Amino acid sequence: MKYYKRIFLLTFTIITLFSCKKADNKKNTKDEVPISNFSAKQQDSLKDLYVKNKAKNFPLYSQERQAAIDEGLKVDSTIAYFWQQKAMPLFKKRKYEIGMDFIDEAVKYDRKRYQDYRAFIKCIFSKQYREAIADFKDYQEEFGYGFVMDHSYDFYIALSYLQLNEFEKAEKLFEKDYKRTIEKDGRGWLHHLDLFYYGISKYEQKKNKQALDLFNQALDIYPQFSDVQYYKAVTLLKLGEKEEATKVYQEAIKNADKGYTINEDNAIYEIYPYQMRW
């Protein structure tokens, strides 16, 4: 009798522990996102009220602007746009850590709208290249190929690989995007920045003639691009064309003095990879 009693107690304990563990796992893995009590139309009205008509009356970096958005969050904390609006000025002030806390909230409430934006921030602003790659890859698996801030997801993944010195991986992705653009839209849609970094991926692997060709393609689109001219000059020097290299380098200095550099919107906040500091 004692034997069966011990077996029963042991079995009961195992079942209880297993059930508790299963419940805990479910609790830890479940993505619990609160549901708004407001309709989409009402949420749009709240955005207008607290951001357009209130927060934007204050300077971008002010505490007053943040406080106005906080008022909106007290009404409905599930509005992802509020969180993004809190994060954006912080990234521009290089306060990446607290900004990332807010953009994580935006992604939680609207992954489709903000995960690719967060991945962009990790690549260009906070320089979390491995995390940027993971974010972009995860997003593409769910939502497919796309663009953020005028460039493809593969562009930013490749750029992140460049920054991690994984040059061959970067080259393959830049090449994939290059061919995709030509096949889908034609050469007229090639972007000078894409060509610059594609060239850099060749340059870093000492594929100098191929790099030079891509730098020339970038300069066909943006002839005064001083950063490209600098790397073109170095490449020419490596190819033994000293006189031409000197000429291109002098042009690069003149154009840099005139402000002809990377002209992305966010270049006023961040130095881009391989951007020259003369």
- pLDDT > 90 in the chain, percent: 86
d(CA 155, CA 160): 9
In sequence order, which residues have a C-beta less than 8 Å from that of residue 221 and are 6 or more positions away? 190, 191, 192, 195
d(CA 68, CA 51): 7
Pick from 222, 226, 228, 276: nearest CA to 251: 226
- What is the structure's pLDDT at 9? 42
From residue 240, how far is each of 128, 155, 218, 219, 243 by CA, in Å?
A: 37, 31, 22, 21, 9
Rg (CA), the chain: 26
Quick check: 114 pLDDT over 60? yes
d(CA 108, CA 2): 54
- What is the structure's pLDDT at 37? 85
- pLDDT > 70 in the chain, percent: 89
From residue 243, how far is each of 13, 227, 236 by CA, in Å?
A: 83, 19, 9
Burial environment of residue 74 by CB neighbours within 10 A (0 to 12, 13 to 18, 19 or more): exposed
Please state the rounded mean pLDDT for residues 142-159. Answer: 97
Place of tokens 């690989």: 161
Place of tokens 């300077």: 59
d(CA 54, CA 64): 9
Quick check: 8 pLDDT over 80? no
From residue 174, how far is each of 81, 117, 171, 188 by CA, in Å?
A: 32, 20, 5, 17
Quick check: 14 pLDDT over 80? no
* Averaged pLDDT of the chain: 91
Quick check: 241 pLDDT over 50? yes
- What is the structure's pLDDT at 97? 97
pLDDT tens digits, one per residue of 66-99: 999 999 999 999 999 999 999 999 999 999 999 9
Lowest-pLDDT range, 4-18, 29-43, 96-110, 160-174? Answer: 4-18
pLDDT tens digits, one per residue of 161-210: 999 999 999 999 999 999 999 999 999 999 999 999 999 999 999 999 99
Lowest-pLDDT range, 21-30, 82-91, 100-109, 263-272? Answer: 21-30
193-199 contact pairs (CB < 8 A, 24+)? 193/151, 193/218, 193/262, 193/264, 194/151, 194/155, 195/221, 196/225, 196/227, 196/228, 196/231, 196/274, 197/155, 197/158, 197/159, 197/162, 197/170, 197/273, 197/274, 198/171, 198/174, 199/228, 199/231
